[in-house]
Structure formats: C-alpha cells, structure tokens
Amino acid sequence: LPVLAVVGRPNVGKSTLVNRILGRREAVVEDKPGVTRDRVSYPAEWAGRRFTLVDTGGWEVDVAGIEARVAEQAEVAISLADAVLFVVDATVGPTATDERVVRLLRKSGKPVVLCANKVDGPRVEADAAELWSLGLGEPHPVSALHGRGTGDLLDAAMAALPTESQHGVARPGGPRRVALVGRPNVGKSSLLNKVLGTNRVVVDDVAGTTRDPVDELVELKGVPYWFVDTAGIRRRVHQTSGADFYASLRTQAAIEKAEVAVVLLDASNPLTEQDTRVIQQVIDAGRALVIAYNKWDLMDEDRRPYLEREIEKELVQIQWAPRVNISARTGWHTDRLVPAITRSLDSWDTRVPTGRLNAFLGELVAAHPHPLRGGKQPRILFATQASTRPPRFVIFASGFLEAGYRRFIERRLRETFGFEGTPISISVRVRE
Ligand code: GDP
C-alpha cells in the first residue's frame, strides 16, 4: 500500500491528528511529550482509498538534543513515505526545527501536504496563512482536536499519494530487493557481513550514479540482489529512550523498500512480542516473507524440540512462510536463504488466470457450501485476481461471506496454487 507519513516536531499535535485519521478515540493520546507507543504504522482508509499511515508521534522524548533527533527521525520517515503530511503548530509558527525538516522535505522531492494545526479560531487562521512562507504550498488549516478541516486535509493527501495500483505493482527489471529485519541483537549485521563477505558487487563509486548509498548490491549464486537499507543495520542506536521505536521505524523503512523480507528470529530463545510485531509489519506491508531461525549453533539437542514447538505455536498463522535454519556466526546453511527468497518472490509474483480461479472456486463451493445465514445462502458469483505483488483476490458474492469461510478459501487457495512465502488478501464485494 502507498505510505503516508506524519512528520513534525514534538507537541504539534501529530498523535491527535493520527487518531483522527484512524478514527480512534482520544484515549490513546496523552497531552504530554514522552508518551511512547509501540507501533509505527497503521492500515488506514479515506474516501475508499487504502494506505499505510506512519506515525512518528510515538517517539517524542523531551531530552537534550531533541532537535537533531527530530531531524533524524523525520529523515527516516520521509525516506519510506510516498507522501508526507507535515504538521506545524499554527499558534507558534515555524521554528528552527521546522525549518530543518523543511530542508529535508525539499531535498527528498517527495510530495508534501502542509498541515497548519491548532487552528481553533479565526485569529489563528491568519497565522496559518503565514505558513505559505515555508514554500511548501498551501497550508491546510486544521484543528485535529476538534476534527475541523481534517477531511480537506485528507483529500489533499490522497491527491498527493500514488494509488494502490500505481504502487507496488509493475517494477520491471533490476535486481530484486531484500530486507534483513528482526529485533535488535538477533544477528542482522552478522548475517549481512557474512553475506557481503565475498559477494559484494562494487557498484560504480563514481559520482553521478544513481544508487542509494544505504543499499548494497550482492551477488548470490550468480544472481545480483539489492540488500536494502543496510546502513540502518550497521548503525547502532545508542540512545536509551525511544531506541525501540527508532528501530521499528527503520524496520518499516527497510520493509517498504524491499520486495521480500527475511525476518531473523533467535532460535535459541523464545519468541518475543517484538519478533511477532516485525513479522506483522511485513505482512501488513504485503511483502514476501522468509523466516530465518538464526543462532542455530547455540541449539543443543535437548532444547531444540521444546523451543521449536514453543516458537512454532506462535507462528501457526504464517505456516505459509518458508523456514530456514542458519548460523550467521559460522555461516552454516546461509546458502539456503537464496532458494527460500526465490520461492517467496515467485509466489509473490504469481497470477492465477481467471478461468482457473473460477473453476477452483466452483468446485470448492459445490463441495463445501457457505453455511446458511438467516435461511439464505450467499452465492459466489465470480472471482478475479486483482493484483500480484502480493496476490490480491476479489470475490463477488450475493451476500456477505463469513470470516471463517474466507479463511477456508485462503487455505484452499494456498493448497491448490502454492503461494509459499507470500501474504495473500481476499476481499468480498457484495452484488445483490
Ligand atoms: P543485530 O542487532 O540484529 O544486527 O545483531 P548482531 O549481528 O549485532 O548480533 C548480536 C549478537 O549476536 C552479536 O554478539 C553476534 O556475535 C551474535 N550472533 C549473531 N549471529 C549469531 C549466530 O548465528 N550464532 C551465535 N552464537 N551468535 C550470533
């Protein structure tokens, strides 16, 4: 999905605005800086358009040097966004920190929608108009607190955002893009070093080549791959507060940039909440997925079956993702990553022809009809695969299909057509 990032310095009202957009209750926001939430991205929708909303407001810590951090954080958010919602406090006007973010925004060339927040009365409206001086186009006066102006703001944001079909699909040619993700200390940089070891391809270091310096080109089994956002892996986050949030933002950036994500898990320890969150980020972003159990060298025979059972119990929902057991430290079985990546990407690219899809559904429904609801039976009329990367299916039916039945269809789709390593989505349109 296209990504809209909400960016701005602390206390301008980003979280309130995010809650407005998500239609959540106020309760999540506390009126003080330093409130940290654990998520950075949320699925959102406006006027029938779906997008991913990235919220940088969860990482607001009032400590010395905050200005530099805001800029750094904004830079990451901007790099992963397709469009940026830049929030300024109209009652305060642009500050030096705002100006700094403006420079980053200009440099990025990304579409920006300027939000003048806290416009609760006519006097402030004049202040909002002064924000034209930022050179980012029209300031949209908003009161996130009271909900005023947010509709117009979102209309403008939708106009700036590429549509879902422009996004994701159709990226022809070029090496495929791989993200190595996982919670801190799981072994990402060790694996990267192992993989880069002898395989790094020196891309023209000469000025003028268009390559993102945070990506590495690596040749594996004769095939080049981009390992994206590797600078984020190398850079150690030293700050104590907000470190997790920052890591999470980095992860989101890498995932958005990649086509396939390798999620590293520590096989020698139980799964943590952070692990499952990273996996969920990949699935929400609709990227292909490979699970790599790292630190396999630490596993002793006694604990192995126990841990495997414990970890896998939590991952039943993603049995479709290939598993690879590796040791980044010794290099053991790291060569098995490439076949798994290839399989996942192949599934991600797969298109089921409409004829085959409808034949499959016809047989399925005949053998396992939808349960009766209120004496009626919703009929499946027709289905089509709306997109690849990832595969999205649309089913037209005469009535609403229950969640359980949709999951059943997904399971059978996977059994029949494979789809190993890719999330798939099924939506239902009701036609009377
Ligand atoms: P990152 O934060 O995900 O980049 O993790 P690092 O690559 O920095 O690794 C964190 C720690 O785990 C370091 O002390 C590594 O030496 C260690 N480590 C990484 N991979 C392995 C592995 O396969 N086996 C063992 N035993 N230790 C590992």
Which residues are annotated binding-site positions? 8-15, 55-59, 117-120, 182-189, 229-233, 294-297
For 221-245, how does the pLDDT look when each residue is reduced to its tens digit (9 = 90+)?
A: 888 899 998 877 776 655 555 667 7
Q: Which residue has the tokens 């090496």?
A: 175
From the CA of 236, give the closest atom in ligand 1: 2
Distance CA 289, CA 347 (A): 10
For residue 198, give every residue at least 6 positions away whose Cβ sits within 8 Å of its Cβ, in sequence order, or none: none
Distance CA 423, CA 426 (A): 10
Which residue's C-alpha comes closest to atom 10 of ligand 1?
A: 185
pTM for this entry = 0.73
Which residue's C-alpha comes closest to atom 20 of ligand 1?
A: 187
What is the whole-number distance in angstroms between the Cα of residue 317 and the centre of ligand 1? 27
What is the whole-number distance in angstroms between the Cα of residue 195 and the centre of ligand 1? 14
Q: Which CATH architecture has domain 354-430?
A: 2-Layer Sandwich (3.30)
Pick from 134, 144, 62: nearest CA to 98: 134
Sign of CA dihedral 333, 338, 342, 344: positive
What is the whole-number distance in angstroms between the Cα of residue 192 and the centre of ligand 1? 11
Q: What is the pLDDT at residue 319? A: 92
For 185-234, how does the pLDDT look when each residue is reduced to its tens digit (9 = 90+)?
A: 899 999 998 988 766 665 554 444 445 667 888 888 888 899 998 877 77
For 58-77, how does the pLDDT look when each residue is reduced to its tens digit (9 = 90+)?
A: 555 445 566 667 777 788 78
Which residue's C-alpha comes closest to atom 6 of ligand 1?
A: 187
What is the whole-number distance in angstroms between the Cα of residue 311 and the centre of ligand 1? 19
Q: What is the pLDDT at residue 338? A: 94
Burial bucket for residue 264 (CB in 10 Å: 0-12, 13-18, 19+): buried
| 3-160 and 176-349, same CATH topology | yes
Q: Which among 185, 237, 262, 325 is the best mutation to test ligand 1's pocket, defined by most ligand atoms within 8 Å of the CB?
A: 185
CA distances from 399 to 74, 222, 353, 432 (A): 45, 51, 24, 7
Distance CA 56, CA 6 (A): 6
| DSSP H helical ranges for 26-166 | 66-80, 96-108, 122-129, 150-160
What would the CATH number be for the domain defined by 176-349? Answer: 3.40.50.300
CATH superfamily, domain at 3-160: P-loop containing nucleotide triphosphate hydrolases (3.40.50.300)
Which residues are annotated binding-site positions for GTP? 8-15, 55-59, 117-120, 182-189, 229-233, 294-297
How far from each other are the two terminal CA atoms of the chain, in whole angstroms?
29
Determine the 3-state secondary structure of 184 from DSSP. Answer: coil
Q: Which residues of the chain have pLDDT under 50?
A: 26-36, 61-62, 167-170, 172, 205-210
Q: What is the pLDDT at residue 336? A: 94
**What are the sequence ranges of the domains in the chain?**
3-160, 176-349, 354-430
Pick from 430, 389, 379, 383: nearest CA to 410: 383
Q: What is the pLDDT at residue 29? A: 45
Q: Which among 190, 193, 196 is the best mutation to test ligand 1's pocket, defined by most ligand atoms within 8 Å of the CB?
A: 190
Which residue's C-alpha comes closest to atom 9 of ligand 1?
A: 187
What is the whole-number distance in angstroms between the Cα of residue 187 and the centre of ligand 1? 4
Give residue ranges with CB within 6 A of ligand 1.
Answer: 182, 184-190, 233, 294-295, 297-298, 327-329
